[in-house]
Amino acid sequence: MPKKALPFQSLAPRRVLVTGASGFLGGNLIQRLLEQGCAVKGLCRRPQPKLEALGVEMFYVDLADTKSVRNACQEADTVFHTAAKVGIWGKYREFHDANVIGTQSIVNGCRDFEVGKLIYTSTPSVVFNAEAISGANESLPYGDGIPCHYPTTKVIAEKAVLAAHGLPPGNLKTVALRPHLIWGPGDPNLIPRVLDRGRKGRLRIVGEGNNWVDLSYIDNIVDAHLSAEAALDKLENNPGGKAYFISNDEPVLLWEWIDDLLNRNGISTIKKKISLAQAQRAGAVLELIWKALRLRGEPPLTRFVASELAKDHWFDIAAAKRDLDYHPRVSMAEGMNRLLQASALASD
């Protein structure tokens, strides 16, 4: 029996803008769109000669540049807004400028130039509540008093995108996706950080070490964005104006998964533990030191990170399966194999 075609495979070539073109998700999404024959524009700050060589029209602007960001939306059928300032530390104004002002500029551009669809990359951290989250769905409310500027500003941005659904004059269609911990070959953040700290012996199990978390393989998250774009044309279960959790739908024991990753890379597994209470106290002290001394970079630990490392964070993605026709194609096991194969090729 032939395999069922994925919903986004029926989309015709179209004019697309991808913000965050230099990022892990944005770059992989652009590659897939080019394979579909789309005319692609990219927006980011740093020059991307490889994308230019592939025929991508690049806009090198800061997200806080409201006029330039808005104008980049001209002549686009779809905008994928993946760009954001991420991190656990920094000045609120910088996060606000990128994540709130930048997103509003994208919304304004989509409205003014009558873009058909806006797919926004949000984060599950918008529902952070300092508690374990085990199998929650989209009925979970936004977090209140989140001790981290990134999710705080993403809450504001996500609300703006969802409120923009149906905006005249073009009746813009919008949807927000909340992928959890994206990883895979080429990941510049999650995997390299874990491996670097593992090699330096700086990893500690926070809490009891039995917390379950969702992770999301990069190819699946690209699929989710394209599926969401296609689903905005559905007559039933249309996702317009809604947010969706996205993952591999295979929660893992976080510290067991990290140990396996370390072991496969010839690094000793984690032996030391720290309780959640100790970690949160340490995080609070480090936050005070970084603020008082205005130190550069991120503290090695914060209260937000301590909670994320010690508690369950996995989600029910039934709504994404139903409304977006999203079904993860690459399993966690296959993803790990692909990661190791890519690492082996890179080291040859």
Catalytic sites, residue numbers: 150
Pairing of strands 252-253, 212-213: antiparallel
Half-sphere exposure of 261 (CA within 13 A, CB side): 26
C-alpha 157/C-alpha 252 separation (Å) is 29
Main-chain phi, psi angles of 187, to 5 degrees: -60, 120
Three-point CA angle 70, 62, 302, nearest 5°: 120
C-alpha 140/C-alpha 131 separation (Å) is 12
Q: Which of 7, 55, 2, 66 is closest to 234 using CA atoms?
A: 7
> CB atoms < 10 A from the CB of 204, how many?
18
- The answer for residues whose C-beta is within 8 angstroms of residue 285's C-beta and 6 or more apart is none
Q: Strand locations in 218-264, DSSP E?
A: 243-246, 252-253
Q: Which of 134, 149, 281 is closest to 212 using CA atoms?
A: 134
List helix spans (H) across 164-253.
Answer: 190-199, 218-231
How many helices and strands (H and E) does the chain possess?
13, 15
Three-point CA angle 194, 197, 200, nearest 5°: 150
Residues facing residue 41 across a β-bridge = 17, 57
Three-point CA angle 323, 6, 244, nearest 5°: 30
**Which whole-number Å values give the CA distances from 311 to 126, 205, 208, 333, in the listed order?**
16, 11, 9, 23
